[in-house]
Amino acid sequence: MLLKNVRTFAPQDLGSVDIFVGYSKVLAVESGIGSMPIETKTFDLSNFILTPGLIDLHVHFAGAGGEGGPLFRAEPLSVSSLLESGITTAVGLLGTDSYARSVMEVLQKAYALEAQGISTYIFTGSYKIPPITITGDVAVDIIAIEKVLGLKAAIADHRSSHPTVEEFMRLASQVRVAGILSGKVGIFHLHVGTCPDPLYIVRETNKRTSIPLYHFLPTHMNRNEAILEEALKFALEGGNVDFTAISDMNCPQAYEAVIHLLEAGVPLDRITVSSDAGGSSPLFDSEGHLLDVRITTPEDLMTQFLRMLDVIGPEKALAVFSTNPAERLGLGCKGKIEVGFDADFLIFDNTWNLAGVVAKGRLVWGKI
């Protein structure tokens, strides 16, 4: 595949270039690539914009939810719903329900989506501690199963298991050691609720064990204004934070949260945004009664990306939605348009309407 004359943000602005793709990789990024020695499908993209694909590090692609009863269980996501939202890499995980759902179910869905054209990974575990796993051991899951990048658990939430610091420390140690032995980063991905001092257990673990902060990735950190301020504090201390791209809930929008942190001096590379798609976003009253449930969608991620792009420009927006997630997860060949990187691209028209998606070097969605 040869893409000609396309305005490219890699995420840095490369201007108008030609991009040659083969064997699912970027083989050349140059101006004026001539005729090829082999038959090559060529696209003239003079009026289009090319970017890296979005990397969604928190998506319930096997379904989730269940607060409110069986009627509120979210269905698994289709590959088309991810592609039309610009997602070329997705990391699946469980949510509240680890009783009727399993990590193996998430893994099998990951394999199915991979076969349909996108790149997929998963986190083992769920909300509860001790965690549920595939092999019976957190570290073995991470070491033995290529798609498992780390562990998910819930903290500071009325639906969590309320682990002690000691329990949490032991899990964090397993994640770190498994990361070292497997050559992965080893991510402890944390659903954060609304309890006071929500990241106390993370700070205490870091202080008492010297496990580096980069292993911990708290998410939903724009749940409310108080949690957003906790995100700011944690990021200024050297931690990484992830915001959720929910577009119609009564909470700070992800793009607003990102801008708030940047204006306060947080380095750009500490911030990511994910969709939480396929999960439920329950609304509780002040006494803890369930009032309503919204099922989150992949398109929220693209909505927040475009809103952020308008405010901080494509280079910084792409860092938050593509480059930073790749680096956070240790996916060294994703998140940029460079020679040797995976050929995962989004093709926009010149008004930033999504026109096509290339994943693993193939046009898998849209018409150009």
The residues that are catalytic are 276
> Please, are residues 278 and 63 in contact by the beta-carbon 8 Å criterion?
yes
Strand order in the sheet with 119-125: 54-59, 87-92, 119-125, 148-155, 187-192, 216-219
In total, the chain counts a number of residues equal to 368
Burial letters 315-325, b for 16+ CB under 10 A, else e: bbbbbbbbbbb
CA dihedral 128, 60, 320, 120 (to 10 degrees): 110
Distance CA 317, CA 324 (A): 10
Q: What is the CA radius of gyration of the chain?
A: 20
Report how far residue 2's alpha carbon sits from residue 306's, in angstroms, rounded to the nearest whole number: 27
CA dihedral of 62, 168, 226, 303, whole degrees rounded to 10: -20
